[in-house]
Amino acid sequence: MLNRYRGENPYRGFESLPLRSFPPHADTLPRMTQNGPRLRFAPSPTGYLHVGGARTALFNWLYARKTGGTFILRIEDTDQARSTEAHTQVILDGLSWLGVTWDEGPYFQGAEGARHRADAMRLLESGRAYRCFCTREELEAQRQSAPAGGDGFRYDRRCHRLDAETVARRVAAGDRFAVRFLMPDEEIAWDDAVHGRISFHGKDLDDLVILRSDGTPIYNLAVVSDDIAMRITHVVRGDDHISNTPKQIALYRALGAPIPVFGHVPMILGPDGKKLSKRHGATAVGDYRDKGILPAAMRNFLALLGWAPGEDREILAEADLIALFSLEAIQKKPAVFDFTKLEWMNGQYLSALPAEALEPEVRRDLDRLGVPAPDRPIGPLIDAVKSRARTVLQIAERVAVRLDPGRAVLEPKGEALIRKMGPAYRTSLGLAVQALEALPATAWDPTAIYEAIKGQAEASGVKLGDAMQPIRVALTGDTVSEPVNELLAVVGRSTALEHLARARDRQD
RNA sequence: GGCCCCAUCGUCUAACGGUUAGGACACCACUCUUUCAAGGUGGUAACACGGGUUCGAUUCCCGUUGGGGCUACCA
């Protein structure tokens, strides 16, 4: 990469480059979005969409929808090593799944190098930036010799003090240089939409490099250059960018561009209070899709993580989220991602959906679990397990067990029950089989099954629960299921009897 | 080290100087159910600490402590 520019002035010709506007040009924008706020979500294509990023995108989207603004997607693919089309696609898929749709883009930052360089050159010409001939090695040496062992090191502007002749001579000689921004000695403050006023002072900030000696832009320049070109009015992004903001505001000022509204959203933490990362388990929105979380539930949950509508409401439809949303109501402190609550919320959405709506998803999972049932209507099975499940995947797993009780895994509670009942467990199953066998296939329905088991329980003097629970455990491995008579009906006579008999005869 | 941000139940949060500090998840109990849940009802549980300001502070100000971010020719 560096070799490419060796021995030549990487900036030759850039001075005369016109400022390009980001596509699409203003007059190609959709009419409805001509005016109003313009917001963007600008992820790096790292191969997955982190829930924190998803929430940031959601907040941007909610605000744009609420205000009739425009939501723009920009892929920050300047890290060529990590960026691939496949990675970008994962992010687009994740956002689409969540229902966070963009009005413009995706644009690619990597394609805008010429404008980034042109902006840097403008700064150079106006004296707001200067050429720095220091090499990495020299910088490192300066850092080492700094007082606090390089801790509070700030560039000493030695290259800014170079006289014009020296600079001209070195440029002519083809010396490589980076472009450094001359940080003004002034207060830099803004009214953050979520934090209120935040203030820095230029004297505490370094003269940051904005263009590398190979002519590629540094992040802070690229972002500002892009946001100006895209006419972004509201920058809503992660908390970790607070300390980048004064640098960027200084760049806006130097470039003579209007400064957008900034809103800094806190990050999301894992259960241990540390920043949510892969070691906490699922952190990508794709993971939640795979677990069987519904997009509407995920959206609702994410919106409520760090934001509250101000009423005691938890389940909010998309329209309510949009109507109630405001940047000011976003929490200032980070929030812990509570998967249990997400599951609860998903369960709420699940129970509101009819079986037919869930069927395609459940069938997909059934295929994945290796229990395809293309010829069987699974609606009744879904209805049987739906109210007790919290994810689509759980529904599919339970449907699979009802299709084939052989794949039931014995849960600790089921095991405990078997142990507690002792020999009575198998005796009870035996009696159940006897009673049920007497039922003809034509009478295999919940009511008849219930009567059969009840009659058998009364005849042998056991409580109904003690007659039911062994059947439940034998068929599902668990102590929780739909009512046992319904379970038997849904599993079907021959399959149910076969597995009950097998459980009764099992030696262990 | 320097600069900056943050702080209400275990968790997500409400409160915008005066409340028995409210709701939700989780947990516990009860209730429905001659079987499991779901549901319903109730309960346990919080203003980090210290100074101010004020008639009155969870709320405003300062400090302490504790978290976190940035401090690269990373993004």
The 10s digit of each residue's pLDDT in A424-455 is 888 899 999 999 998 998 889 899 999 999 99
Predicted local distance difference test score (pLDDT) of residue A50: 93
Q: Which amino acid is at A234?
A: H
Chain B bases closer than 7 angstroms to a protein Cβ:
1-8, 10-15, 22-26, 34-38, 67-75
Query: Which residues of A form the catalytic set?
Result: 278
> Is a pLDDT exceeding 80 seen at residue A26?
no
CA closest to B22 C1', residue: A312
pTM score: 0.89
Instruction: Cis check for the bond before A24: say yes or no (omega within 30 of 0).
Output: yes
Nucleotide nearest to A216 (CA to C1'): B73
Calculate mean pLDDT across residues A56-83: 89
Distance, CA of A63 to C1' of B56, in Å: 39
Query: Which pLDDT belongs to residue A235?
Result: 97
Given a cut of 90, whether residue A236 has pLDDT beyond it is: yes
Instruction: Quote the mean pLDDT of chain A.
Output: 87
CA dist A20 and A128 (Å) reads: 21
CA to C1' distance (Å), from A198 to B5: 9
Nearest residue (Cα to C1') for B36? Answer: A480
Reported as a single tens digit per residue, the pLDDT across A240-292 is 999 999 999 999 999 999 999 999 999 999 988 888 888 888 889 999 999 99
Q: What does the alpha-carbon distance between residue A226 and residue A228 come to, in Å, rounded to a whole number?
A: 5
Nucleotide nearest to A246 (CA to C1'): B4
User: Residue A95 above 90 pLDDT?
Assistant: yes
Residues A296-325: tens digit of each pLDDT: 999 999 999 999 998 888 999 999 999 999
Question: How would residue A411 be classed by pLDDT, with cut points 50, 70 and 90?
Answer: confident
C-alpha radius of gyration, chain A, whole number:
32
The dihedral of CA A161, A165, A166, A170: what is its sign?
A: positive
Specify the pLDDT at position A34.
58
pLDDT at A311: 84
**What does the pLDDT read at residue A223?**
96
- Tell whether the model's pLDDT for residue A5 goes beyond 80: no
Q: What was the pLDDT predicted at A246? A: 96
Which H or E run contains A211?
strand A209-211
- Is the pLDDT score of A130 beyond 80? yes
Angle, vertex CA A368, rays to CA A363 and CA A370, nearest 5: 95
Spatial CA neighbour of A254 closest among A193, A178, A202, A200? A202
Is 0.85 exceeded by the ipTM? Answer: yes
Name the nucleotide nearest A454; use CA and C1'.
B34
Is residue A16 predicted with pLDDT exceeding 80? no
Nearest nucleotide relative to A219: CA against C1': B75
Residue A109 CA and nucleotide B66 C1' are separated, in Å, by 39
pLDDT at residue A12 above 70?
A: no
Mean pLDDT of A475-485: 91
Nucleotide nearest to A305 (CA to C1'): B12
Rounded to whole angstroms, the distance from the CA of residue A153 to the C1' of nucleotide B59 is: 41
**What is the DSSP code string of A362-411?**
HHHHHHHHT---TTS--HHHHHHHHTT-SSHHHHHHHHHHHH-GGG----
A94 CA – B48 C1', rounded, Å: 39
* Nucleotide whose C1' lies closest to the alpha carbon of residue A217: B73
Q: Which two tokens stand for residue A285?
A: 């929105």
In this prediction, residue A24 carries a pLDDT of 40
CB atoms within 10 A of CB A14: 17
Residue A156 CA distance to nucleotide B62 C1' (Å): 35
Strands A70-75 and A104-108: parallel
- A323 CA vs B17 C1’ separation (Å): 30
pLDDT (mean) for A163-187? 94
In degrees rounded to 5, what are phi and psi of residue A217?
Answer: -80, 155
Helix-strand-coil split of chain A, %, nearest 5: 50, 10, 35
A347-399, pLDDT tens digit by residue? 999 988 999 999 999 999 999 999 888 888 899 999 999 989 999 999 999 99
